[in-house]
Chains A and B, each alone.
Chain A
Amino acid sequence: MRALTWIERPFLIFAFWVAGALLPFARLASRVGVQSRDDALPSREPGRAIAVRVHEAPQNGPDAPVVLWFHGGGLFLGSARGEDVLARYFAARLKATVVSVDYRLTPEYPWPSALDDCEDSARAAATRWPRRPMLVAGMSAGGYYAIQLALVLAHAASSDAAVDVRGHVAIAPMVKAVALLSRTYNCYFDPLHAGRPLHPL
């Protein structure tokens, strides 16, 4: 095995440090006995299911909250399984059922595929776990989808297909949907900044 280069060593140390920082959270989930399993929820497209990871604390009652969790990854990376530690922590701490959604990623699936997956999973979760309070939550790109889903569900609140969401949680979310294309694009066409220049790319 070759020796690590000077540039690789700090990253190895950093990786151990990160794993160590998350260890107490993994321990809490283990101590509480959170059960995790792969599952699937129906989507609006016939014949296609949305893969999810379901994490449940054993002492969940009939009123236990349901947390719909969306993983991070800059809209193009990541997976539900990749954030098992975080989802299991919330399941243990909130005594909740945490449903971590494997939404479709770009560039293979552009807008609004992932958002459709989020909305479909929320509706399916409300059907599967009825009369339980629901939160939608996510980190980074998952925060973006949690916010957008909360907006979509608020928009549909007066319709027959309403889903009762008690709150949304966005941890370091992507929100702005700009920083696209080029500097001139940002200067002249950014609808959020009304023509004021942004940082150059």
Chain B
Amino acid sequence: MQVGPFTHFDSVGACWELALFPHRAIHFGWSKLLRSAPLPHKWDWRISALLASDDQLRRIAPGIVTYHHFDTLCDEGRLYAERLEAVGRLAAGARMPYPHGSSVGMGHVLSWAASEMESLLGASASAASHKT
């Protein structure tokens, strides 16, 4: 059974710190991904949602966002949740007291996300029935 994105990666033994998702891994991912993207001064919402205008975010489908306290990505997740909340598109957001990835605390995160997804689907179904 493969239990996460890193467990089937052969070099986990050699690069064990990758599992903690440090800056070096994030740097590698972004730099390789965006090498074909426009220059940074031309970046827009197509690169990062944080560069979207409020008007663009108002049109997005409602969002459920978790950000994890012991995670290098905590701040940017929180920033995105705050942007969504400011424009009224945050269906649910939570700061989880866990590290990054599919390991510690994942049970709680999955249950919470599934509950919020059920609520979101229920709300959208009732809104659709009101329309008809």
Chain B residues with Cβ under 8 A from A152's Cβ? 46
Chain A residues with Cβ under 8 A from B71's Cβ? 172
Tell me if B2 and A82 are in contact (CB < 8 A).
Answer: yes
Chain B residues with Cβ under 8 A from A106's Cβ? 29, 32-33
Tell me if A153 and B61 are in contact (CB < 8 A).
Answer: yes
A14 to B99, CA, bound (A): 13
Interface status of A187 (Cβ within 8 A of chain B): no
Tell me if A191 and B5 are in contact (CB < 8 A).
Answer: no
User: B31, B59, B120: which contacts A157 (Cβ < 8 A)?
Assistant: B59
Q: Which residue of A lies closest to B16 (CB)?
A: A11
A81 to B121, CA, bound (A): 26
Chain A contact patch, size range: 35 or more
Shortest Cβ distance from residue A166 to the other chain B in the assembled complex, whole angstroms: 4
A110 to B21, CA, bound (A): 20
Known: A85-B3, A167-B61. A176 touches B109 (CB 8 A): no
Interface size on B, residues (CB 8 A): 75
Tell me if A148 and B49 are in contact (CB < 8 A).
Answer: yes
Which residues 71-101 in B have Cβ within 8 Å of A in the complex? 71, 73, 76-77, 79-80, 91, 96, 100-101
Give 29 CB contacts A-B under 8 Å. Answer: A8-B13, A18-B3, A26-B1, A65-B121, A74-B29, A76-B28, A94-B121, A107-B33, A110-B35, A114-B33, A135-B121, A140-B100, A151-B46, A151-B56, A152-B46, A154-B61, A166-B62, A167-B117, A168-B60, A168-B62, A169-B63, A170-B65, A172-B68, A172-B100, A173-B80, A175-B73, A176-B48, A176-B79, A191-B51
In the A-B complex, the 3 residue pairs with the smallest Cβ-Cβ separation, listed nearest first, are: A78-B5, A75-B29, A107-B32
